[in-house]
Amino acid sequence: MWPVKFPKSCILNIETMNPDLFEKVVSLCKRRGFVYPSSELYGGLSGFWDFGPLGVELKNNLKAAWWGRVVHGREDVVGLDSAIIYNPKVWEKSGHTKFMTDLLVECKNCHQRFREDHVKGECPNCKGKEFTDPRPFNVMFKTYVGPVESDEGLAYLRPETAQGIFINFESIVNTTRLKLPFGIAQIGKAFRNEITTGNFIFRSREFEQAELEWFCQPKEADKWFKYWQKERIEWYSELGMKKENLKFREHEDKERAHYAVTAFDIEYQFPWGWGELEGIANRSDYDLKAHGLKYRDEEAGEELVPFVVEPSVGIERSAFAFLLDAYHEEPGAKSQESRVVLKLHPKLAPYKVAVFPLVANKPELMKEARSIYELLTKNYQLGPVAWDDRGNIGKRYYSQDEIGTPWCVTVDYQTLEDRTVTVRDRDTTKQERIAVGSLLSYFSGKLS
């Protein structure tokens, strides 16, 4: 079993930061098209990021891996895709208009504003020691629905996806006839006007959450809480995250959200220290009661307000953790340069396969390589397939290693004779010869 109790860690502890790893991964993300600062053309906008051709694949793969294990891989969870903007009464009833606040302090020296719990006695910007008194700041973004900007049209961008699940609870129970315990899952955008953003995509103002609301008998909530702790940590391990970089930390009384009776974070060892990756909360019957909702089991003649256990993870934050975890630098063999390898789990890798002609100036090799590329591309189950015919093979391998492509297929002269290709493995760099006709089953076997 995993350790479950740890002391509070510091989220923005600059002292322990390993700037090297952080800088290297951030620069790789931009250079290779994982993440760009949003609106960069106009100077950017703090807390907003765009995900490039590789980033969108990584995020989609992560979401599919989460949905696969949490929804498709079981019979007791169904999915939902609710709107982002709800009737503002939702947020009044749920307590978010009152409690979705962070304590804000301002440094008296440089006048920058921070979340109080991110300031450890010293201004992270100028090291000043004096701050204004903390005051609550509601992090929900406001907007107006309809053509008039008046209080009547006031609405909020959701700061969590969970409320969409609660307000659809009755409809889902009625249409699916689910019996306790069961879960409703949702992946979607959430928005928080964070006082301070930072650490790259770790804390942004627009992000995606993958949330499961698990409804159960109140007396069974503790049992299910432990179950979901275990289940969620196994998900990270299954996708190759290093166990030593993960731990649980229990929330202290004062940091628990207004709806939670128990809360643990799954923390990841980021370059600057341990930080929250995922929250697991026992939300009790708080939300269903707040919305006046009940569960009725006609057959059993039972009526009750279930308890809710909620694992909730940020997609961008976990994508960042997977990227950091996967980043390796390895010395090359004699006379070869060292290589950067993203050892991402093949299920997460943006490209699973790259195809190269050994040399680009031989039309017969190009033709054969193109036909193999098309064969693999048309089988879209593999996701996008990379093509590269520039430079030498060594450079192409290194270029794919850096973005985590697990397998590179090279079409050479032998291919023209016996219809086999070399398949080179990213992690071992070993090569084997595979018949072109078996390539699809070879890769799908590896990915299953």
Closer CB to ligand ATP, 321 or 382, in the complex: 321
Name the one range near ligand ATP by CB under 6 A: 141-149, 273-281, 340-348, 363-371: 273-281
Q: Is 317 in the site for ligand ATP (CB under 6 A)?
A: yes
Of 219-248, which residues contact ligand ATP (CB under 6 A)?
Answer: none
Q: Is 396 in the site for ligand ATP (CB under 6 A)?
A: no
Concatenated DSSP letters for 321-345? Answer: HHHHHHEEEEPPSTTSPPEEEE---
Closer CB to ligand ATP, 112 or 217, in the complex: 112
Tokens of 289: 């009661």
CB of 291 to ligand ATP, least distance (A): 19
Name the one range near ligand ATP by CB under 6 A: 56-64, 272-280, 365-373, 438-446: 272-280
Closer CB to ligand ATP, 265 or 285, in the complex: 265
Phi then psi for residue 212, to 5 deg, are -120, 130
Give the rounded distance of the alpha carbon of 436 from its chain centre.
35
Q: Which one among 88, 181, 183, 314 touches ligand ATP, defined by CB under 6 A?
A: 314
Closer CB to ligand ATP, 196 or 399, in the complex: 196
Query: From CA 409, how far away is CA 407, in angstroms rounded?
Result: 7
Closer CB to ligand ATP, 285 or 316, in the complex: 316
Which pairing describes strands 295-297 and 327-330: parallel, antiparallel, or unpaired?
A: unpaired
CB of 260 to ligand ATP, least distance (A): 9
Name the one range near ligand ATP by CB under 6 A: 200-208, 213-221, 368-376, 437-445: 200-208
Q: Which residue is nearest to ligand ATP (CB)?
A: 314
Q: Is 192 in the site for ligand ATP (CB under 6 A)?
A: yes
Q: Which one among 106, 276, 368, 401 touches ligand ATP, defined by CB under 6 A?
A: 276
313-316-317-319 Cα dihedral, nearest 10 degrees = 100
Concatenated DSSP letters for 83-97? Answer: -SB--THHHHHHTHH
Tokens of 98: 């009152």
Angle, to 10 degrees, between the axis of helix 315-326 and the axis of helix 53-67? Answer: 110
CB of 278 to ligand ATP, least distance (A): 5
CB of 319 to ligand ATP, least distance (A): 10
Amino acid at 282: N
> Residue 332's closest CA among 396, 388, 394?
394
Q: Is 278 in the site for ligand ATP (CB under 6 A)?
A: yes
- Angle made by CA atoms 56, 61, 65, in degrees to the nearest 5: 150
Do the Cβ atoms of 249 and 9 come closer than 8 Å? Answer: yes
Q: Which one among 114, 131, 182, 207 touches ligand ATP, defined by CB under 6 A?
A: 207
Residue where the block lists tokens 């053509």: 147
Site residues, ligand ATP (CB under 6 A): 192, 194, 203-204, 207, 209, 276-279, 312-314, 316-317
